[in-house]
Structure 1
Amino acid sequence: MASREMRRLQADERAILERHLSEYPVKLGQIARELGVTIKVSSLHTGVSGQIKREGDGYVIRVNRHEARERQRFTIAHELSHFLLHRHIIDSTPEGIKDNVLYRSGAPERIEFEANRLAADIVMPMELVEKALRDEFSGVVMDATIEGLAARFQVSKAAMEIRLSTFADAA
């Protein structure tokens, strides 16, 4: 079932995402390229995980090179989510949207919540996580299961724990 945020996307943007949500780890770089967004790994200020802003005719995501790869992947998905859902905010300020380590940008909390939820849908698609849980872990959720799923989707254990808790809430 698609999230509210996924349903809000333009049909062509949703189609780009859906082409890449059938195998893990989800290829975020390919999604960004197809959306016309450039990703740069950069040295950002301490406490800043990522930023998306308009540069010239396009959009650039900068992700903090000093953070763990799993963290960088979620940050990329989060910034792509801002691009898909909140482009008007990015376009309204020269610095775009800059997110700290708690994915707070100074934008209204709802904006960050929406970006986090769509980012989770992108990097850990519900149907794909459920399939991996069923096929590879016999549907049993234990600490080792969470670690295994996190490794397969290349996300942090904490991100996978949160994702699995949303399944329980939806059930």
Structure 2
Amino acid sequence: MFKKSREWHNIRPDEREIVARHMKNVPVKLGAMAKELGISVKLSSLPINVSGQISKTSGGYEIKINRHESRQRQRFTLAHEISHYLLHRTVIDDLGGTLKDNVLYRSGAEESIEYEANRLAAHIVMPEDVLEKAYLEYGEQLSEAAIEHLAEQFGVSKAAMEIRVAA
């Protein structure tokens, strides 16, 4: 019913194992996942039109999340930036070491990498195995209340959950 994003197999096997382990429970503990991947995460006062950014630092990589956005938005942004780390480190490095994503998750890099990061982020925060169990619990026709409940359970917005279950 639900399938892994096509980007899943582009992750290094050792990192895929770390991500998969964290995806077994919802809401997925994204901060713990980032830490185990060696990524520093900070809530920051970013400009109003910037949701998040990932930067290469002397010690590795650092993600900054806009503290002024909703908790659900922060979670998806963190998953999106982790996805950039997993898939696009060479792009980050080629862009001078920083990739900033605006509120539409556009960074100035090729649009295709933003789509890839969004698909993988949705897969990470709404894992198909756990989502499938919940989906079966509610039946094939998900009511608005069921979608809201699932969104709350997974720590995502209702819109993100609607997109994920429709995919």
What residue in structure 1 maps to residue 21 of structure 2?
A: 19
C-alpha contact (below 8 Å) 1:103/1:112 kept by paired residues: yes
Gaps of 5+ in 1: 167-171
Paired position in structure 2 for 1:109: 111
Give unmatched runs, 5+ long, in structure 2.
Answer: none
Matches within 5 A, 1:5-154: 5-94=7-96, 96-135=98-137, 137-154=138-155
SS in 2 for 1:86: helix
How big is the shift at 1:127? 1.8
Range 61-70 or range 91-100, more displaced: 91-100
**How many residues are matched?**
165
Deviation at 1:44, TM superposition (A): 0.3
Query: RMSD of the alignment, in Å?
Result: 1.1
Counterpart contact for 1:41–1:63, Cα < 8 Å = yes
String of CA shifts for 1:72-125, please: whole Å, max 9, x gaps: 000000000000000001112335110000101111111100000000010001
Query: Following superposition, which runs of at least 4 residues in structure 1 exceed 3 angstroms of deviation?
Result: none
Percent identity, please. 56
Distance in 2, matches of 1:4 and 1:53, equals 25
TM-score computed with the length of structure 2 as normaliser: 0.95
Shift in Å, 1:68 = 0.1
Please tell me whether the aligned partners of residues 89 and 96 of structure 1 are also in contact (alpha carbons under 8 angstroms): no
Instruction: Give, in whole Å, the separation in 2 of the partners of 1:95 and 1:84.
Output: 15
